[in-house]
Structure 1
Amino acid sequence: MKSFIEEAKLVIFDLDGTLYEDTDHFDYYADLMKAQLHNEELQQKFQQDYEAMKAGNHVVKIGKAYDVENDYVLTLDPMSLTVTEVHDWDGNVVDTSSMYAEPLTFNFENMIAIGDGWWLPFAAAKHYGVEDTYTSYNKTKEYMVTDNFQLTKTAGLKQGLLELKESKKIVLCTNSDIDDVGRLLKELELDTVFEHILTSSMKPTKTEEHFKKLLAQYEVEPHEAVSVGDNFINEIAPALKLGMKAVYIHSASDERNENLFTIPTLANVW
C-alpha cells in the first residue's frame, strides 16, 4: 500500500466508510425506516433480515445489487457490472438472464449498488414496502452531527494526510452532499486537508467520468493515481478499469489485481 501511495502524484479518497469507520448510524437509519412499518410482524421480519445482512447470513450483501422494482438480488462481475446470478429475497436462484443482458446502470432509486452499510437497511425497507427512505436518511445525517453521535477519528489519519499533501495532490470524491461533507470533515478535523472536494458525485454511475477529469486537471497518467475507498463498485473497479491503482478498505476481500491493495483500515498506515 505504501509503495502505491509513495509513487502516486494524485490520491483520490472516498469519505463514508473510508475516512471514518463508525457504523452505529446505519442502525439508527434502519430503526427510523422500521418505525414506518406499522405492522409489528413486519417490523420483526425487517429486523431479522437486517441483522442477518450485517452478519453476512442473508442473500443481500455488500458487493451485490438490488433491483427494487422486481425485488431481486443481483450478483455482479464488479469490473463489467454484468449480472452473473439472480436470487429472490429468500435466496432462491431465479432464471432471469434475459432481463439483465446489458451492464447495469445504477440510479439510486430502482437499481441499487449495495456498496456499503447504508444500502442494507435501504434494501430491507424497500422489500417491506417503505416508500420514503430519503427523510430517514436526512434525519440520520442530522443525527450524525449532534452530541448524541460521536465520530471516531481514525488513528494517524490526519497526520498521514497532511504528510501526503506535502508532495501530492489529494482529492475527496464522495456521494454525500456539500453540507454533510462540510460538517463531517469539520468533526473529523480534516476540513483544511484536501486540494479539491467533489460532492454529490453519483458514484458508481459517474465515477469514471470524475476520475478522467481529475487525471486531466492534474496532468497525471492513470498509473500515477490511486483511488482509496471502501466500496469496490463505487471507487475501486472504476479506477482499475482506467489503469489506476487502488487501495480497498475491506476486512477480507477475495479480489485480486496487481494494481490493488486491500487493508482493513486506514489507521496508522503511514
Structure 2
Amino acid sequence: MQPNNWLSDLKVIIFDMDGTLYQDHTFMERYIRYLLADTEAEAHMESAVALGTDILSGSHPVQCGHFYHVDEDVVLVRETGRFIQALNWEGNVVPIASGLADAGADESVMMKQLVPFGDPWGVAAVIGRRYKLPERKRQEAFERVRREMVQEPYRFAYSSSLFEALAALTAVDKKIVMTNTYLESGLEFLHYMQIYPLFDEVYCGAEKPDGIAKYMTELLAQGYKPEQILSVGDNPWNDLEPVRQLGGRTCLISPYASAESSKWDIRLTELDELEHLLRLTQQAITRKVSDDGHNRAYQYQQEV
C-alpha cells in the first residue's frame, strides 16, 4: 500500500525499540546458550541454537508470526484472528484441541499461555519456555545478554542516519518509544544510541500488547483520531495488532519472513527504509501545512 495518501495526517508515532530502532540478531545464539547452560536441557543446546536460526531464516515450518502454547507444547498458526492449525516441533500438523480452535487469539485467558514468535527475542523466549526453565534462570540469561549488547566485544551497531531522520521529524505532535524491556536496560539502550532526548515520551516495561492498547485508548481520549496514530514495530502481536484493532495505522519492520496473516499499512525490512519513511512523513506534513496556509499544530490545539 502506498502510504503517501495518509502520511500527512499523522500526529503521533509510537516506536518499538528492540528490532525496530536497531536490528541485530547476533545476540540470539548467546541468549539461547545462556538459557540452557548448567541445566538438564544443556544437552539440547546445539539443536536449540540450530532451531532458532532456522526459524529466523524462514527455513523451518515454524515461523515468526506463529504462537507457542506453553502447556500444550505445540505451535499455533493464526489466521484472520483465530487459530486454525497446530504444529509439533518437527513442523508436522497435529490435532488442535477444540478449546484452542474455538478461542480467538485475543482472549486474555488464552494469551497467558501463549508466547509469540515475533522476533529473535521471542524465539529465544519460546525456547526457554519449551524446556521449562525456571523464571529466575530465564531472567538472568535475558539480563546478561542485554548487558553484553552495549559492551565490547558485543556492542550492537545502529544507524546514525536513521536517528538524524528521527530528530528531523518535528512536524508530528508526539514521538513515543515503548519497550517491554525493564527500565534499567531500556534506558541504557536509548542512551547508548544517544536517542533518549528525541522522544516526547519514553515507556519501559510497557507490557505490550496490553500496554500499547491502553496507551492508544488514552490518545483517543485526548482527541486524536485513530488514523492520526502510527505504530512502528517488529513484533506484530505486541506492537501492531492492538493499534490496528483500534483503527490506527501500522508499520511492520522486520528482515524476517512472517507467517502473520494480518495486512499492515506498511511492510518494511531494513532501517534505511524506515529512515525514508520518516523523511517522507516530515515532508508530507510540512507540505500540507504549507498548502493549508496555517500552522497545523495550532489548529489541533484549537480543535481540542
Which residue is equivalent to 2:302? none
Aligned to 1:102: 103
Q: Distance in 1 between matches of 2:262 and 2:69?
A: 27
Distance 1:115 1:62 in 2: 5
> Contact 1:165 / 1:193 at 8 angstroms: preserved in 2?
no
Q: Contact 2:12–2:172 (CA<8 Å) still a contact in 1?
A: no
Give the partner amino acid of 2:209.
P
Counterpart of 1:87 in structure 2 is 87
Conserved 8 A contact 2:67-2:75: yes
How far did residue 143 of structure 1 move?
1.2
CA-CA distance at 1:39 after TM superposition: 6.4
The structural deviation recorded for 1:2 is: 5.5
Distance 2:209 2:51 in 1: 26
Q: Which residue identity does 1:120 align to in structure 2?
A: V
Residue by residue over 1:15-48, the C-alpha shift from the partner in whole angstroms, topping out at 9 and shown as x without a partner, is: 1100011121222211212323456642232233
Which sections of structure 1, spanning at least 5 residues, go unmatched?
A: none
Q: Tell me whether 1:66 sits opposite 2:71 in the alignment.
A: no
- Residues 14 and 106 (structure 1 numbering): CA distance in 2 closer, same or farther, change over 3 Å? farther
Alignment correspondent of 2:17: 15
How far apart are residue 3 of structure 1 and its match?
5.2
Q: What is the alpha-carbon distance in structure 2 between the residues aligned to residue 113 and residue 5 of structure 1?
A: 29
- How many Å apart are 1:49 and its aligned residue? 2.0
Q: Which one has a larger percent helix, Structure 1 or Structure 2?
A: 2
Larger mean Cα displacement after TM superposition, 35-44 or 86-95:
35-44
Where 2:93 maps in the other structure, the secondary structure is coil
The range that moved more, 28-37 or 133-142, is 28-37
SS in 1 for 2:267: strand
- Note the C-alpha offset of 1:120: 1.3
Q: 1:49 to 1:106 in 2, by over 3 A?
A: farther
Correspondence 1:140-151 to 2 at 5 A: 140-151=145-156
Deviations 1:77-132 (A, max 9, x none): 3x63x211111222222222412122243898742122111121222233344333
**Aligned pair partner of 2:125 in 115, 122, 125:** 122
Q: How far, CA to CA, are the matches of 2:32 and 2:109 in structure 1?
A: 22
Looking at structure 2, the residues matched to 232 and 8 of structure 1 have their Cα atoms a distance apart, in angstroms, of 20
Q: Note the 1:9-48 alignment, pairs <5 A.
A: 9-37=11-39, 41-48=43-50
Tell me how far apart the structure 2 counterparts of residues 26 and 255 of structure 1 sit (CA, whole Å).
25
Work out the CA distance in 2 between the residues paired with 1:107 and 1:206.
Answer: 17
Q: Partner amino acid for 1:102?
A: A
When residues 168 and 157 of structure 1 are mapped into structure 2, their CA distance, relative to the original with a 3 A threshold, is farther
Aligned residues: 266
Query: Larger Cα Rg: Structure 1 or Structure 2?
Result: 2
What CA distance in whole angstroms lies between the structure 2 residues aligned with 1:196 and 1:176? 15
Contact kept, 8 Å, 1:5 with 1:11, in 2: the verdict is: no
Distance 1:250 1:3, change over 3 A: farther
1:187 corresponds to: 192
1:4–1:247 distance in 2 versus 1, CA, 3 Å: farther
Runs of 5+ consecutive residues of structure 2 not aligned to the other structure: 280-304
What is the TM-score when the length of structure 1 is the normalising length?
Answer: 0.87
- Aligned partners of 1:18 and 1:230 also within 8 Å: yes
Matched residue, 1:137 = 142
Match of 1:240 in 2: 244
Cα 1:42/1:150, change in 2 over 3 Å: closer
Task: Give the direction of change, closer, same or farther, for the CA distance of 1:70–1:42 in structure 2 (3 Å limit).
Answer: same
The partner residue of 1:222 within 212, 220, 226 is: 226
**1:49 aligned partner:** 51
The alignment status of 1:161 with 2:162, answered yes or no, reads: no
SS of the equivalent of 1:21 reads coil
Report the equivalent of 2:115: 112
Identity across aligned pairs (percent)? 23
The match for 1:209 is 214
Aligned mates of 2:215, 2:94 — CA distance in 1:
35
Q: In structure 2, the residue corresponding to 1:83 is in which secondary structure?
A: strand
* CA distances 1:217-246 after superposition (whole Å, capped 9, x unpaired): 4x3100111111111111222222211111
How far residue 157 of structure 1 moved from its aligned partner, in angstroms, is: 1.6
Structure 1 position 155, deviation (Å):
4.3
SS at match of 1:173: strand
TM-score by length of 2: 0.78
